[in-house]
Amino acid sequence: MVSSSSSFFCLFLLGSVLFLSDGATSLPEIPNLTTLSFEEGYTQLFGDSNLMLHRDGRAVHLALDQRTGAGFASQDLYLHGFFSASIKLPSDYAAGVVVAFYMSNGDVFEKSHDELDFEFLGNIRGREWRVQTNVYGNGSTAVGREERYQLWFDPTEDYHQYSILWSHERIIFYIDNIPIREVVRTQAMGGDFPSKPMSLYATIWDGSTWATSGGRYKVNYKLAPYIAEFADLILHGCAVDPSDHKTACQGSDAVSYDAITMSADQQTTMAKFRKKQMTYSYCHDRIRYPTPPPECTFVGHESQNFLASGEAKFNYRHRHGRRYVRSSVDARTKGEMAVETGIRTSVCMGSKCGALLRELEQIWTEVGESKEDKDLMLVELERECMQVYRRKVEEAGSNRAHLHRSLAEKEAEVTALVSALGEQSLRLKMEKRLSLKEQLASVNPVLEDLRKKKAERLKQFADIKSQIEKINVEILGSSRQDHSPANPVKIEEDDLSIRKLTQYQSQLRILQKEKSDRLQKVLESVNEMHSLCEHLEVDFRKTVDTVHPSLHDTGGRHSPNISETTLEGLSQAILKLKTEKKIRTQKVLEAVESLLELWNLMDTPVEERKYFGEVTCILGLPEHDIGCFGLLSLDTIKQMEAEVERLTNLKARRMKELVLRKRMELEEICRTAHIEPDMSTASEKIGAVIDSGIVDPSELLTKIEMQIVKAREESMIRKEIMERVDKWLAACEEENWLEDYDQDENKYSAGRGAHLNLKRAERARAVVTKIPDTVDKLMNKISVWEKERNMPFLYDGVPLVSLLEEYKVIRLKKEELKRRYRDQKKLQNLLLTGKETVYGSKPSPKRSNNFNRKTNENGFMTATPWRVSAGGATPGLLMQCSYSGHSNGCFKEIRRLSTTPLNLISISKDDRVSLFASVTSSEPGSPPLNQHSGLDR
């Protein structure tokens, strides 16, 4: 047994491989065929939390529980394209569960919708899922084009791809890229071929009333949730604008779908699939369609495999390595059952009717009826029996017709309610084997439920539409509104769908938001008008009454009018008040500026300014804050204008004094900035010009004020360079102090303030070392400034660059003198040291007492004049060479220094005399240079 099962399983795998390898299994050749995430192309249809996203939105799980199912739809409508998804169905017991992957436009074209379906019908444990496809066009739901198939795999174990290719010419259904059905458009089909834009849907819902064995097996919610998994979502089509149904695809895109056809291998593969796996086809349902629909062109060579009901005679199912042999409609079994029933009926009839006939025969024999009479009586008996049968048949037929009419009426009502309510997930499908009473019994609860839903929906529509009309009346500003029972709100009962209700709800929300915005705008406008009236001291009630009386209703009896007329009236009134406020504000600002200018010109005392002191604080404030001070009344403006006029008259009488004061201000600015003032308005000229009356003092004052403004601007332009000049001058002062300090013989004494001088000297040396760099940077800065403005930088009328260059020359000369002085000082010290070595040392006859120096009032040592004298050599330095054993080195240094040429011509006369005195003084106590005045002669 194990060997047999294993061999059969291997044969099953080989057969599956051969079946899949017969045709091309690749996707159609469509460019840019990529998967989308849920957010990129889809939106949730229903189900709330029963829709779950996985793998970063590239996989969607739809769950069915006792509360609800779930579904999603594409964001756009599409006219032709390729649409695909990989689907994994719920496993184990799934009776009553319906999973649908389909395209439809029922929400847009309610009475003439198109549809392309993949429907998966669940089953009880141990039985496989059933898959069917369907095509509807132009609302042709009465002409169903269903086909059902068995799958060669278990759809609950893994994902499998289900695809729909829809073009202008054909529709092809694929499973795992294998074509399983093709519908080619023919002229005879007319509008039955889908030709309007459709959306893509995926749903899971409860189909217990019909999905499994005609409703015999229901959904078992103890096993919930039932989860259908969707992945690899593909939307490749021509998106359509829902407003005008115009596609954005170019012609080349549309042609690309029409160009896709099946190859010979694919057609062969599809034929094998349909022969082995198809269990029902509407084309072969001769009971339902005695004349096949026009697109059924292959009936001849396939009809031999199907019964008159459209069911396949035989089909084979492979699952989990096991083989199931099943017949959708087993004619043989049915025939045997019919024969058995007929036998039982004949036996029954024979046993009862035969006894009666034998008894009647005996009576007729005893009576002596002739054979002709017997035959006549048998004929009469047969006629009477036929009349009874006929009456019963007619009654049964009438009853059946009544049931048919009732069923048809209820089905029509259900269809109308489903269409009106937009219940796309509810589809009433009756199993053919159910009796009429069973069908009526299954329709009644659905119909009652739909009627209740319709009543509830009508109430919702009435409430929403009444609110919409009420708000419209308020927005239009009309008081006409009558919703009495005699005049109820009119509702179109043909469309009560959730989509329509959502539209009304959206419209209501938009109107409610518009009403709220208008009310907010009215309140803001009224508050703004009230504020403006307070600032301008205007009667608010009288002003607002001109717009609408309800706007100042403080009792709350009536809501404020929010019509467009009211808003326009408020806008015009506010604009008028703002214009008046702007005019008054400008007058106040001009008056305040004039007051401040006149007060400053004439040095008005503080006591005189107090009356208008609060007014001056408005300068620099935003315009909307000026009214807060209560300064925009007409009385205040008149008082300020009168004060300006009084001060203007006073200004004319004191103009000369004002002009001279402004000239002094100009000169002070120029002196601070080291700028030469304009001499055309010199103080000497001003008095004579004003006294002569040649020039108007006001014009002269204006000219000086312009010069002041120009001087200030120039001062700001020169500010950065002037700061560097000040830094340089401060460094030069420190340099002068340091020179005086270095010449002080008592700088290292322990006197008062000596440590402060030492600290200052350290800081001064750090500053002095930076002077050359400071000067160079300053000159570079001046050069850039002059190039940018094409003018020299003057310092008190002299080019600053020339001053700096002169300073650099003087500094170089000074450094040269210092260097030569150090060299000569060193030479003198060496000569004295050699002399002491030959003749012996002696103390200096003139040695100043360093402890007799006086300190200045700040505690610093006073500096002594800088003298070039050889007597300044210390005994330690003189004795250093005398007592050293290396006297030859000292004499060599003396000879080197004595042979160094002195360029006395390049230095001044005073410097040459000082240098000559320092060299020729052979005694340490030689007198200073100023004692040798005879050298000058």
Catalytic residue of the set 29, 40, 110, 119? 119
Name the residue among 178, 168, 161 with its Cα closest to residue 237: 168
* Contacts of residue 131, Cβ cutoff 8 Å, sequence gap at least 6: 118, 119, 120, 121, 148, 149, 150, 151, 155, 175
Catalytic residue of the set 40, 115, 384, 788? 115
- Angle at which helices 655-673 and 697-717 pack, to 10 degrees? 20
**Kind and range of the H or E element at 135?**
strand 130-136
Tokens of 311: 């069911």
Name the residue among 101, 190, 78, 99 with its Cα closest to residue 140: 190
Task: Please give the sequence-ordered ranges of beta strands (E in DSSP) within 207-362, or none if there are none.
Answer: 226-240, 278-285, 309-311, 315-319, 322-326
Rounded CA-CA distance 891/659 in Å is: 78
Strand, coil or helix: what is 637?
helix
CB neighbours of residue 70 within 10 Å? 26
Q: Are the C-beta atoms of 410 and 444 separated by less than 8 Å? A: yes
Q: Are the C-beta atoms of 273 and 172 separated by less than 8 Å? A: no
Tokens 């060599």 — which residue?
Answer: 892
Q: How far, in Å, are 316, 421, 507, 563, 697 from residue 464 at the CA level?
A: 56, 16, 9, 21, 80
Within 34-167, residue ranges assigned H as helices are 38-41
What's the number of CA atoms in the CB half-sphere (13 Å) around residue 27?
Answer: 18
Name the residue among 664, 663, 668, 647 with its Cα closest to residue 703: 663
Name the residue among 399, 74, 367, 58 with its Cα closest to residue 232: 58
Rounded CA-CA distance 280/291 in Å is: 17
Tokens of 694: 């040649």
CB neighbours of residue 510 within 10 Å? 12
Tokens of 819: 């260097």
Rounded CA-CA distance 361/376 in Å is: 13
3-class DSSP string for 76-95: CEEEEEEEEEEEECCCCCCC
Rounded CA-CA distance 889/879 in Å is: 14
Rounded CA-CA distance 283/295 in Å is: 9
Sheet holding 147-149, edge to edge: 42-46, 70-74, 199-206, 97-104, 115-121, 130-136, 147-149, 278-285, 309-311
Q: How far, in Å, are 468, 487, 521, 549 from residue 471 at the CA level?
A: 5, 18, 16, 20
Q: How far, in Å, are 101, 243, 294, 848 from residue 98 at the CA level?
A: 10, 32, 30, 125
**Is 115 an annotated catalytic residue?**
yes
Task: Please give the sequence-ordered ranges of beta strands (E in DSSP) within 679-835, or none if there are none.
Answer: 794-795, 798-799
Question: Whole-angstrom distance between the N-terminal and C-terminal Cα of the chain?
Answer: 150
What's the number of CA atoms in the CB half-sphere (13 Å) around residue 849?
Answer: 4
Rounded CA-CA distance 857/859 in Å is: 6
Rounded CA-CA distance 469/849 in Å is: 117
Rounded CA-CA distance 798/793 in Å is: 8
**Kind and range of the H or E element at 63?**
strand 59-64
Rounded CA-CA distance 794/805 in Å is: 14
**Is 119 an annotated catalytic residue?**
yes
Residues annotated as part of the active site: 115, 119
